[in-house]
């Protein structure tokens, strides 16, 4: 019942935001902006997704390898593509993560380690977003001035990233286990939860080398995402400073992780209308950017569907034939 109510709420938020935005924009102008876009640049922007797939798969492979699980890079790339399919057709990004957990389990990671690997993979990716935006904000004073409390927010987020790194890759997990010991009922519950988390995440304790490499790959992925967005702005002749995009795109991605709409629909469009509007970009151009970005995500899902069918066919052919009487 709660799940149904949450889904209905997300649908209402998405429909409400889209309706509100379109009521304040010229639909004809949005369509004209999309029609006049440079198709070659849009194709280049779409191809950047697959650069990110390989980098993401390499990061996943690195984390699995730290647990002694050997995985082929191409297999992980395929899994990422299929995960996008599930993200598109389920009301949250959890579906894609669940598929990747299943693949990690199938490769021999075990249930708890499969969950831990995908969770840490996701967290490292979000941490790189914050790190990139924070680093750029130190040099982009004009951008920071346009967004209230930007540096304060990013500084707090950076503190959270450091704390998480200490818990997962350092001795923080053991310290928290000791701090949550107690005799009252509440402390026992908290200690039990911490114990389950520690069981999965202490596997990376002391592996700062893995953390550094994973963060490095994540930064490359996020830079790739920003370049992808920059190419779309150029295809639509949208003028937004390059440094601004290195803050806007990570912030937009972080905001869209909030589980208040269906796969970011409505929220995505609102974010870009607001941020691009700070630089004098018309709402119609910002919406054209958001719609094209979403269209590319859907197209990725279609490719993921093809990959899923091919994988199932390959698995079926590789399965042993039933015994003959």
**Separation in Å, CA 253 to CA 38, 66, 133, 270:** 24, 28, 11, 13
201 part of a folded domain: no
| Mean pLDDT of all residues in 3-8 | 78
Site of tokens 């704390």: 163
> What pLDDT does 160 receive?
77
- Whether 323 is in a domain gets the answer no
| CB 246, CB 273: distance < 8 Å | no
Q: Residue 191 falls within a domain, yes or no?
A: no
Mean pLDDT of 165-173: 70
Instruction: Identify which has the larger pLDDT, 227 or 319.
Output: 227
pLDDT given at position 55: 94
What is the reported pLDDT for 199?
A: 62
Q: Report pLDDT for 223.
A: 93
Out of 25-34, 179-188, 205-214, 244-253, which region has the weakest mean confidence (pLDDT)?
A: 179-188
Phi-psi region of 147 (alpha: psi -120 to 50; beta: other; left: phi over 0): beta
169 close to 211: Cβ distance less than 8 angstroms: yes
Residue 58 CB neighbour total at 10 angstroms: 17
**Is residue 231 situated within a structural domain?**
yes
User: Does position 321 have pLDDT exceeding 50, yes or no?
Assistant: no
User: What is the number of residues in the chain?
Assistant: 325
According to DSSP, residue 26 is labeled -
pLDDT in tens, 268-301: 889 899 989 988 999 999 999 999 999 998 898 8
Of the chain, the end-to-end C-alpha distance in Å amounts to: 49
- Asked if pLDDT for residue 35 goes beyond 50, the answer is yes
What DSSP designation does 106 have?
Answer: I
Looking at residue 248, what is its pLDDT? Answer: 87
- Most confident range (mean pLDDT) of 94-103, 116-125, 266-275 is 266-275
Rounded to 5 degrees, φ, ψ at 282 are -65, 145
Write down the pLDDT at residue 37. 94
**What CA–CA distance (Å, rounded) separates 297 from 287?**
15
Neighbours of 173 (CB within 10 A): 21
The mean pLDDT value for 145-162 works out to 75
Q: Looking at residue 94, what is its pLDDT?
A: 64
Is the pLDDT score of 93 beyond 60? Answer: no
The residue segments making up the domain with residue 136 are 13-170+206-308
Per-residue pLDDT band at 166 (split at 50, 70, 90)? confident
C-beta neighbour count of 202 within 10 angstroms: 18
The answer, yes or no, to whether residue 314 has pLDDT greater than 70, is yes
Alpha carbons 199 and 119: distance in angstroms, whole number: 13
The span from the CA of 263 to the CA of 92, in Å, is: 5
Rounded to the nearest 5 percent, the helix, strand and coil shares of the chain are: 80, 0, 20
Q: pTM value?
A: 0.81
DSSP secondary structure string for all residues of 170-202: SSHHHHHHHHT--SSHHHHHHHHHHHHHHHHHG
Residue 322 has pLDDT above 50, yes or no: no
Mean pLDDT estimate for the chain = 82
Instruction: Let me know if residue 95 belongs to a domain.
Output: yes
Q: Based on the structure, what is the number of domains in the chain?
A: 1
Q: Is residue 236 classed exposed, middle or buried when 0-12, 13-18 and 19+ CB atoms within 10 A define those classes? A: buried
How does residue 174 score in pLDDT terms, banded at 50, 70 and 90?
A: confident
**Contact criterion met (CB below 8 Å) for 41 and 84:** no
Please give the average per-residue pLDDT across 172-182, as a whole number: 70
Half-sphere exposure of 153 (CA within 13 A, CB side): 13
Cβ neighbours, 10 Å, residue 226 = 21
> Both tokens of residue 322?
């039933």
Report yes or no on 139 lying in a domain: yes
Rounded-to-integer distance, Cα 118 and Cα 98, Å: 9
> What's residue 153's pLDDT?
76
Separation CA 250–CA 265 (nearest Å): 17
């Amino acid at each position: 019942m709660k799940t149904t109510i949450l889904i209905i709420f997300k649908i209402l938020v998405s429909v409400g935001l889209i309706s509100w935005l379109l009521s304040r924009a010229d639909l004809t102008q949005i369509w004209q902006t999309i029609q006049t876009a440079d198709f070659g640049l849009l194709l280049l922007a779409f191809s950047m997704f697959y650069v990110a797939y390989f980098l993401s798969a390499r990061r996943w492979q690195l984390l699995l390898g730290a647990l002694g699980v050997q995985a082929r890079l191409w297999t992980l790339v395929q899994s990422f593509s299929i995960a996008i399919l599930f993200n598109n057709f389920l009301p949250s990004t959890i579906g894609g993560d669940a598929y990747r957990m299943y693949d990690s389990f199938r490769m021999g990671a075990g249930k708890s380690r499969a969950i831990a690997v995908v969770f840490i993979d996701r967290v490292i990716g979000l941490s790189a977003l914050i790190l990139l935006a924070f680093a750029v904000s130190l040099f982009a004073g004009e951008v920071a001035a346009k967004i209230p409390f930007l540096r304060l927010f990013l500084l707090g987020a950076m503190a959270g990233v450091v704390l998480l790194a200490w818990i997962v890759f350092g001795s923080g997990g053991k310290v928290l286990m000791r701090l949550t010991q107690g005799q009252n009922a509440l402390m026992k519950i908290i200690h039990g939860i911490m114990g389950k988390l520690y069981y999965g995440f202490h596997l990376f304790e002391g592996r700062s080398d893995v953390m550094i490499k994973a963060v490095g790959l994540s930064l490359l992925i996020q830079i790739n995402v920003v370049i992808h967005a920059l190419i779309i702005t150029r295809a639509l002749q949208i003028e937004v400073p390059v440094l601004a995009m290195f803050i806007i795109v990570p912030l937009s991605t972080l905001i869209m992780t909030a589980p208040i709409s269906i796969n970011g629909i409505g929220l995505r469009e609102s974010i870009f209308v607001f941020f691009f509007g700070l630089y004098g970009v018309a709402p119609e151009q910002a919406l054209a950017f958001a719609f094209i970005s979403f269209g590319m995500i859907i197209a990725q899902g279609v490719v993921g569907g093809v990959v899923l069918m091919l994988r199932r066919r390959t698995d079926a052919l590789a399965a042993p034939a039933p015994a003959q009487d």
